[in-house]
Amino acid sequence: MSKRYPIPAAEARAEIAVKNSRFIATAAPVFSVDEAKAFTKRIKQEFSDASHNVPAFVVGYGPSVTAHCNDDGEPSGTAGRPSLAVLQGSGLGDIAVVVTRYFGGTKLGTGGLVRAYGDAVKAVLAVLPRAEKVPTHTVMAAVPYTLFERVKLLIGAWNGRILDEEFAADITLTVQFTTEKFPGFQDALRELSHGRLEAEIIETDEATIMPL
């Protein structure tokens, strides 16, 4: 059983201003060091005129994690490390952040920088949509029209996601469930249909991204 943990559901961005300096934090889901590097490169190109683009990322989760940060020319330990510390304290895995700084003419000092970079990352985490990597089953079931609405309610009750509905003599539903919820749905479906209906597992995926 793979460990479930929250990850970013999509890219997000937030901006804070500290003494005329602008700090723009962009966060994204990354599932390998290469993806993290590619994301960092893309943001650096987007903000190529910025004073600094400070990257930090955490790939994986728990004991099997790869973490990295870089000060990108800021005084050592004032930018990358506080950014990474906020990421590591967030409980999220598979996340990269780049904090872009446009210098506003006033020096912030080391303490000010540490705070500003940390606060920028906190700001983007506050608006970041979250998802979870979970093992799932994709299942199919042929449902008679008379039971369709009730089966749909059942799918919702067991947190299923309907991927496809095909209307013919019966309605063929393709639904995704987390592996832990599926047995409960299967039992409820048998009960609802007096043993006539059963969902068939057509695919199992160990790491599906499900929005939280």
Q: Which two tokens stand for residue 47?
A: 């903000």
Q: pLDDT value at position 3? A: 66
Compute, in degrees rounded to 10, the torsion defined by CA atoms 70, 75, 77, 83: -60
CATH, domain range 132-211: 3.30.70.240
Q: pLDDT value at position 134? A: 87
Q: pLDDT value at position 1? A: 40
CATH, domain range 6-128: 3.30.230.30
Q: pLDDT value at position 137? A: 95
Cα→Cα distances 111→78, 114, 121, 194, Å: 8, 5, 16, 67
Name residue 102's beta-bridge partners: 22
DSSP 175-212: EEEETTTHHHHHHHHHHHTTT----EEEEEEEEEEEE-
Per-residue pLDDT of the chain (212 residues), as tens digits, is 456 789 999 999 999 999 999 999 999 999 999 999 999 999 999 999 999 999 999 999 877 899 999 999 999 999 999 999 999 999 999 999 999 999 999 999 999 999 999 999 999 999 999 998 888 999 999 999 999 999 999 999 999 999 999 999 999 999 999 999 999 999 999 999 999 999 999 999 988 888 77
- Residues 60/92, Cβ–Cβ less than 8 Å: no
Domain with CATH 3.30.70.240 in the chain: 132-211
Name residue 134's beta-bridge partners: 208
